[in-house]
Chains A and B, each alone.
Chain A
Amino acid sequence: MKIRHIFVAVVVLLALFGMLLMVAELPPYGSADNPGQNMVAQRYINDALEDTGVPNMVTAVVLDYRAYDTMFETIVLFTAALAVVVALKPAEEEGDDA
């Protein structure tokens, strides 16, 4: 039992070391030439108002440019509610659909 604990501790420490090495390799926080800040953000900032007619850029991206994502996000919510109802709802007597 003790040897297993020591083994687990060593593995966890090694994993932590690896993760910290990866964090050291990340680009600096908020830097202007990060790979995340590419042409897409600039295009949204420039064209969102005339493409969608909406001043709130977040809504323009969520409900117009990325409308497919939001659609399936609502379906995920629907599935979550369905799973909870199926799992927790007490079965009724008349049920052809228990």
Chain B
Amino acid sequence: MRDFILKRMIAVILAFIFVYGFYVILHGHISPGGSFAGGIIVSLSFIAFATVYGIDKGKEKLPEKFLVWVESYGTLWYGLMGLVGICKGAPFLANKLAGIDLGVPGTLSSGGLIGLIGFGVGIRVASTMITLFYTLMEGDA
């Protein structure tokens, strides 16, 4: 697909899709949405880019090594957040029991570990979807 109108439209819209996806991820604990939906929206922005501009340019923008990195360490990040509870003498993945300051409900920094865990899950869902798309699109099938 090398259509001029499509390319310019995507170039305008893409940033807004991307920012909206991160908005949904980061505000998952105070507004509807959540990390899974936000991660998929972030991945859809890159999928749209790779569809319109070609898969090679998409890989230039977001290389596969980086995707593998995010995917692996995003999974590890969840476990590390769980270990915070153990370090403080509470059960695995404890939040309030570990004595973490929960903040004022309704603000962005509230909820203790929930925001951090949600961010990790969001970026790794995004990287999973982009990896699936790249893997399906490439190759000589």
Contact = CB atoms under 8 A, between A and B. Distances in A.
Interface size class of A (residues with CB under 8 A): 20 to 34
Given A54-B105, A88-B139, A59 B124 contact: no
Contact of A53 (B78, B110, B139): B110
Interface stretch (B3-11, B14-22, B27-35, B49-57): B27-35
18 contacts: A52-B95, A52-B102, A52-B114, A53-B102, A53-B105, A54-B110, A55-B105, A56-B32, A59-B28, A59-B114, A59-B118, A60-B29, A64-B114, A70-B121, A71-B82, A74-B125, A89-B139, A90-B140
Q: Do most interface residues of chain A lie in helix, strand or loop, or is the interface mixed?
A: helix
Nearest to B130: A81
Contacts of B96: 51-53
Given A54-B105, A59-B28, A68 B93 contact: yes
Interface of B: 28-32, 34-35, 71, 74-75, 78-79, 82, 93, 95-96, 102-103, 105-106, 110-112, 114, 117-118, 121, 124-125, 128, 131-132, 135-136, 138-141
A15 interface: no
A62 interface: yes
A10 B102 CA distance: 61
A52 B75 contact: no
Contacts of B118: 59, 63
Contacts of A9: none
Given A54-B111, A84-B132, A90-B139, A63 B75 contact: no
